[in-house]
Structure formats: C-alpha cells, structure tokens
Structure 1
Amino acid sequence: MKAITYRAYGGPDVLEYGDVPNPKLAPDTVLVRVKAASVNPVDWKIQAGYLDGVMDTVFPVIPGWDVAGVVEEAGVSVTEFAPGDEVIGYVREDFVSRGTFAEYVAAPIRTLARKPANLSFEEAAGIPLAGLTAYQALTRALNVGSGDTVLVHAAAGGVGSLAVQIARALGARVIGTASERNHDYLRGLGAEPVTYGEGLTDRVDALAPQGVNAVLDLIGGEALKLSPGLLAEGGRLASVADGAVLGLGGRYVFVRPDAEDLEALTVLAERGQLRVDVAATFPLEQTADAQRLNQEGHTRGKVIVTIG
C-alpha cells in the first residue's frame, strides 16, 4: 500500500511517500480503507521527537491519529463493525509507528465509531482527536452542564471551535477568546467573543460579572495564569495545553481513545449541533505541505489529507 513514513525525527522534510507492507489484522481490529485523515499539531510534535520520553517509537513511522474511512475487513473477534461500514477513529496506540496517513490502517475497535451520515469523509476526519479532546475536557474534567457559563481560550482553533459547539449542546453559555478577525465566526458557532491580550480580564468580567463556572484553556501561558481570577465561587479550570494548570488547582487533560465518547460526537453531528470546517485538503503524497500549513497556526478549520 501507499503511505507516508519517516525514518528519523525531524520536520516535514523527513516525510517520504512510497510503498509499505499492508497492516496485519489482529483479532480485535478492523482494516479501514482510509478516505481522509486530519493533520493535528501533535503529529508534527511527535515527529520532532517531543514525546520520545513517554512513548516508544518504532521506525519507520506512519504518522497520523485521525481517520475517516470504510471497513474493508473485520478481525475474528469483532462484532461491532462489518465490511462496508463507514467509520471515524482516533487511532492512537501506546507506541508510535502505525498511523493513518496511509491507504489502510488496522484500527482497534476501541478507537472507532460510526461516521456521521451527514458529513463528508473530509469533514468527519476532523472530528476524532479535536472533538474527543474538547468533549472529554468539558464533560469529565469540567462537568459542564445546562446553565453554566464557560470560557474557552483559543475558541476559534481546531479544538476550540468544537468545544464551543459541544458546550452549547450541553446547555452552557460560552464566552470565547479569539482575535478580532474570528469574532463573527465565533458568533456563528454560538459563542460571545472577546479579544485576547491586555484588558482580557475586564472584558470577560463585563460579560460575566459574577465570574464563569468553568474555563477551558487551549493555549496556556498568560491566558491560563489569568483564568483562576475569572472563576466564580466553585468554578472549575482545565487545560489541554499547559501542565501549570495543576499548580492552579485545575485539571490537565490528555485525550484518550474512547468509542462511546466518539459515538456521542457522531450523534451531535447528526443532530446538526457539531460541524467541522475544512480549511484545506491535500492528496496523500503532499502530506508534508499539509503539515507545513498546520504548523503556521493561522488556519481556521482543519487541514485534511485525502486518500483514494
């Protein structure tokens, strides 16, 4: 099969396009014919070696954790999926080697859910990692529910835009920090936008004089440091970007594969409560260019690699 691989840590230039052996099918996996895969910052951070201290790497590596595709074959113990089923997945294992930027991926069933019927493969591929990050932070770490006011830092980004929609679906009011050029976009998602930078505390206080019930930090640094002072009594704080949140009494969130959570996101999408904006698409052989665009950090929406 055709795939993108790298044989040593580095930037986009280490990526190679070529033939690799087809993946083997373990009893509790399904072989997915990949239609689209999403580029996430974690892909090029792993590729640069940033997670070498916590995850074993087996070279050559096929990068990528997000996938949308069609089940080609099911393992002997699999009853959840059958050939022809359309699925999405956050295909993360406990080591780095077998990713989704390939024509096929052998995906453990714990990483998969059915694809939203109303989304294209390109749109659906943008849900798993970013959507699960937002969903698990909001529901597990922050316990967001109806009547809460939630502040999302970096609300117009890949995770942030999904977090806004998920929080709204949970019944919360959402305030989102973003640059001025993204304010109309956030309003379209159902958030009340505020601008980053000096005076942020005053701008949030003007919208929520009694404080917010929860803060979801997706950027770290100064925004995180300001966050405890924006909370109402009993307010909750979580970050997916900065471990310093632990010293501030909050929760640090690292997304995990979860089939039930992924199914919940599929349901939200099919109800029209969750949409994915696709910023750009690239064919598999141009994955390095897709990665470079993602590294720039200025895209609104997901960068997608299409296969087949």
Structure 2
Amino acid sequence: MTKIKAIAFGTYGSADVLHPVEIDLPVPGPGQVRIAVRSAGVNPIDHKIRSGDMAALVQVEFPCVPGREASGVVEAVGDGVTGVQAGDAVLGPTVTGAYAERALADASRLVAKPVSMPWEEAAALPVAAETAWRALELLELREGETLLVHGAAGGVGTMAVQFARARDIHVIGTASEANHAYLRGLGAHPVVYGEGLADRVRELAPDGVHAALDAAGKGDAVGVSVELTGGPDRVVTIADSQGALRHGVRFSSGAEPGASRTVPALTAALGLFESGILQLPIHRLYPLSEAAEAQRESERGHLTGKIVLAVV
C-alpha cells in the first residue's frame, strides 16, 4: 500500500501530541474524489478536537489527522462522480484530515478554484465561508438591520461581515483595537470587547441590535448578545456551547443534520473574489511540518484572518 506524509495525534492533549506520520493513501469511495493537497486551513475546531474538548460531540479514531478544508488538484475520482475530473483545481471541505499530502472530499461539496486565486487563500475559505453563511441564514437577517459580530476580525467573522454588508446589513464587530482599522475597511463599525461592551454597542446602535453572532466564545459574549437583542431567538454562537445552554440560544457546529451550506457559501465568496472585493487575510502561512506551532497560534487567538498550512 502506498504511503503518504501527514500530521496526526495518537492521543488527546496539547499541540505537543501532533507528530509527522505516514498513512495509507486514501481511496475515494462513491461520490468522492482524492485531492493532492496544496494548502490546508487551520481552524479553532482543529485544536478543540485535538485537546479532547469536543470528545462528546466528535468521535475520532487514532491516529487522527486534523484539518477540515483544503485546496488542491483532483487526482482520482470514485464511482458516480460527475462534473469533477482528474486535473481540476478545487477547494472545499474534506472528509479525511487535510493536514496531509492527500485527502478525500465529497465531489458535490467542491467548487472550482479561480486561476488567479492563490492556493493558500483558497484553502482559507471553505470553513469560514460556510460557517458564516450558515449562521446568517439562521439569524434570518433583513436589509437595513443591525448585526453584532463577536470576533469579527477572525476568519468566520471576516466572512460574516462581508456577507452581511453585501446584503446591506449594518455590522458592529468586536475586536482588539489593533484590528479596528481592518474592520472599518470591511465596512463594519469596530468596538472593543470586554467589560462595558453592551454600553459601547448601544452608543453605536441607538436604534438597537437586531441579531448577534458569537464567533469568538470569549467572556459572556452570548449573554451580552441576548441583552442587546432583547432575547435568545436571534442569537447564534459557533464557539460557546456552554453559553448557549445557559442562555437558551442556538449553538451551530455544522454537524447538525442538513446544516451544511458549503456550495452556496463558496459561490457567494467567489463572487466577491471575482468582483475584486473579497478580503480574507492570511494571518500566517506555516509549512505542514510546523502544524503544531500553527495550532498553538490558533489557540492564542487575536488573529486577523486565517492560519494556513502549505502542504506542497
């Protein structure tokens, strides 16, 4: 059996449990393709799964290769695949770990990579775009409303701001002061998080906040959101399941049945790219061999955009 290089962990723990390994070359099943991975996105869920924090929600088999999104070139297709063929440059979510030279993906959830889009930017898009799009759909936002986004400078926050602004929705985004100019460039009104947040938001939105998305999971963002919107109905968190339980708001992990919105989200994001207005900065590009340090930086937070691994 042909072997490929990957990064994996054999037990739950800190980033120190991540090590280079050799694994069997994955074989695509019906409806799947195998991608020669060029770049892989690093997301908070990667270190949450690795640490064991999500063991009750996400089952893994050891050794486990992290990573849920990639860009690369299709090199093999399974039975029943149409519309995608060997040699196509694609991006999208993977069904096997993306921290590897090769990964499997469902062909129906992939989109073509624009020729002018760098591999690392393409790998940064799938999770951030799908999560932001899904959350905005759950919030049922309407033109002219005001949305509060916690963690607005991160990958999901960045995409949520841009999708919302494209729908003529006003956005207030929490971030450290170092990222305020960046958020203004996206069309959002920045505000510092922390004690007194609710009052600062009210100053920016005297007519009220209609909905809130917590993409940070820091402090009591969920509780503040419920206070500002007047109830739990139009608050969604993707980062604080315990806060969701305490306050009765929706927690969306993307694992719930029928939750994925990958293709429409990526289609919308690529539309912004083709128009020349998409922004999703690469916070830092690491080689695959430094995946552990990439996850450590992801855990520290305060990112602008996404961390990405260069696989090739």
Secondary structure of 2:122's aligned partner? helix
* CA 150–207 in structure 1, closer or farther in 2 if over 3 Å, else same: same
Compute the RMSD of aligned alpha carbons.
Answer: 2.1
Partner of 2:153: 156
Name the CA distance, whole Å, in 2 between partners of 1:116 and 1:143.
30
Aligned 8 A contact 2:233 2:249 in 1: no
For 1:248-300, what per-residue CA distance to the aligned partner results, in whole angstroms no more than 9, with x for missing partners?
A: 45322222543333333322332334321001111111211211221221332
What is the TM-score normalised by the length of structure 2? Answer: 0.90
Partner of 1:270: 274
The one of 125, 128, 137 equivalent to 2:126 is 128
The one of 266, 288, 308 equivalent to 2:292 is 288
Name the CA distance, whole Å, in 2 between partners of 1:269 and 1:143.
24
Matched, 1:251 2:255: no
State the one-letter code of the partner of 2:43.
Answer: N
Partner of 1:100: 98
Q: Greater CA deviation, 5-14 or 31-40?
A: 5-14
* CA 6–235 in structure 1, closer or farther in 2 if over 3 Å, else same: closer
Q: Name the one with the larger strand percent.
A: 1
Name the CA distance, whole Å, in 1 between partners of 2:240 and 2:168.
27
Q: How does 1:71-86 map to 2 (within 5 A)?
A: 71-86=74-89
Name the CA distance, whole Å, in 2 between partners of 1:83 and 1:260.
23
Structure 1 unaligned regions, length at least 5: 93-97
Q: Greater CA deviation, 111-120 or 46-55?
A: 111-120
Q: Give the number of aligned pairs.
A: 302
* CA 208–299 in structure 1, closer or farther in 2 if over 3 Å, else same: closer
Secondary structure of 2:84's aligned partner? coil
Matched, 1:306 2:307: no
* CA 144–33 in structure 1, closer or farther in 2 if over 3 Å, else same: same
State the one-letter code of the partner of 1:75.
Answer: G
CA shift, 1:107, in A, is 0.9
* CA 234–36 in structure 1, closer or farther in 2 if over 3 Å, else same: closer
CA shift, 1:233, in A, is 9.2
CA shift, 1:35, in A, is 0.6
Matched, 1:184 2:181: yes
Secondary structure of 1:241's aligned partner? coil
Name the CA distance, whole Å, in 2 between partners of 1:148 and 1:72.
45
Secondary structure of 1:89's aligned partner? strand
Aligned 8 A contact 2:176 2:302 in 1: no
Name the CA distance, whole Å, in 2 between partners of 1:10 and 1:197.
29
Secondary structure of 2:223's aligned partner? helix
Aligned 8 A contact 1:37 1:122 in 2: yes
Name the CA distance, whole Å, in 1 between partners of 2:51 and 2:82.
38
State the one-letter code of the partner of 1:252.
Answer: F
State the one-letter code of the partner of 1:254.
Answer: S
Partner of 2:225: 227
* CA 263–199 in structure 1, closer or farther in 2 if over 3 Å, else same: same
Partner of 1:114: 112
CA shift, 1:153, in A, is 1.3
Structure 2 unaligned regions, length at least 5: none
CA shift, 1:305, in A, is 0.5
Name the CA distance, whole Å, in 1 between partners of 2:166 and 2:142.
9
Percent identity among equivalent residues? 43
Partner of 1:95: none
Name the CA distance, whole Å, in 2 between partners of 1:7 and 1:14.
7
State the one-letter code of the partner of 2:289.
Answer: E
Name the CA distance, whole Å, in 2 between partners of 1:226 and 1:51.
25
State the one-letter code of the partner of 1:171.
Answer: D
Name the CA distance, whole Å, in 2 between partners of 1:222 and 1:51.
20
